[in-house]
Structure 1
Amino acid sequence: MNGSSSELTDLDLGDKRLETRAVHILNAMLKAPQSSIPRACQSWSSTLATYRFFWNEGN
């Protein structure tokens, strides 16, 4: 993880997997801030995981 992980050290989503996914999403979006989610994620599995993260009712 890069510099964005230091911004999220106090992140508590109640599930370590969601916290890890949030950091991955943020890193992808920081690398390509004007890109769509599929383009920023660069793979179908990462894109699907990102959409599932946002669809999660716990977020």
Structure 2
Amino acid sequence: MAFDSVSAFLSMGTHGVYVWSAYGFSALALAWLVWNTLSARRKTRDTLHKRFLRNQTR
């Protein structure tokens, strides 16, 4: 390993704040994309189900 200790790895010299905040923002963006996709899928499924039920009764 290129670092002497875990704390040296976490601080990454003087770049630790930048590196870990970039990882954090990336993780938040990916989590938001997953949540948004699943939410849109659920809304579309519910809309199609309601439309299907409405057309079944005719």
TM-score norm. by structure 1 comes to 0.32
More helix by share: 2
Structure with more contact order per residue of length (Cα contacts < 8 Å, sep ≥ 6): 1
| Rg larger in structure | 2
